[in-house]
């Protein structure tokens, strides 16, 4: 299983902007609803906001991994938003987030979503990879870069 197996060019938004955590969550969910037109976007945003109230998913180093489970999806979906400017996300290190990886998993996903989350963390914990991602100009470039950086044995 590779992270890129869960990604699609249409699910990568460069230059995501917003004034709040809710803005970012709404934009990420909006991207997801383009590929899953039956998805109840407002309900997913509410579920994500409820999750954020429990504990922030801004893990630090400019990374946020908002996530939830939903009966409306039949597999794990990943959407990426990248902000060169950074957005306040109540991150653990109190610094703006630049990389937003939205995960929406089925209710019965078991540990699959945790494995996907771990792959995200392994990828973007590298300072150079984060810097390189901020320099890319298209969704296609981001997807290809991620594919190049993934462990070929996975």
What would the pLDDT profile of 22-51 be if each residue is shown by its tens digit?
Answer: 999 999 999 999 988 888 999 999 999 999
Which residues contact residue 107 at a Cβ distance below 8 angstroms, ignoring those fewer than 6 apart? 69, 70, 71
Mean pLDDT score of the chain, rounded to an integer?
93
Beta strand residue intervals within 88-134, DSSP E: 97-106
What DSSP element (H or E) covers 142?
helix 139-149
What would the pLDDT profile of 65-87 be if each residue is shown by its tens digit?
Answer: 999 999 999 999 999 999 999 99
Instruction: Give me the CATH number covering residue 104.
Output: 3.40.930.10
What is the end-to-end Cα distance of the chain in Å, rounded? 6
Query: pTM, whole model, 2 decimals?
Result: 0.94
Round to whole Å and give the CA distance between 25 and 151.
29
16 within a domain of the structure (yes/no): yes
40 within a domain of the structure (yes/no): yes
46 within a domain of the structure (yes/no): yes
153 within a domain of the structure (yes/no): no
Parent domain of 77: 3-148
């Amino acid at each position: 299983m590779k992270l890129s197996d869960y990604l699609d060019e249409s699910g990568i938004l460069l230059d995501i902007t917003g004034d709040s955590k809710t803005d970012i969550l709404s934009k990420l969910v909006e991207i997801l609803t383009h590929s899953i037109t039956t998805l109840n976007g407002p309900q997913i945003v509410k579920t994500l906001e409820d999750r954020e109230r429990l504990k922030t998913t801004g893990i630090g180093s400019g990374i946020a991994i908002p996530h939830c489970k939903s009966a409306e999806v039949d597999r794990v979906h990943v959407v990426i938003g990248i902000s060169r400017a950074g957005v306040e996300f109540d991150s653990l290190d109190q610094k703006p987030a630049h990389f937003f990886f939205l995960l929406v998993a089925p209710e019965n996903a078991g540990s699959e979503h945790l494995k996907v989350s771990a792959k995200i963390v392994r990828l973007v914990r590298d300072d150079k990879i984060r810097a390189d991602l901020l320099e890319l100009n298209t969704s296609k470039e981001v997807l290809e870069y991620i594919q190049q950086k993934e462990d070929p044995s996975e």
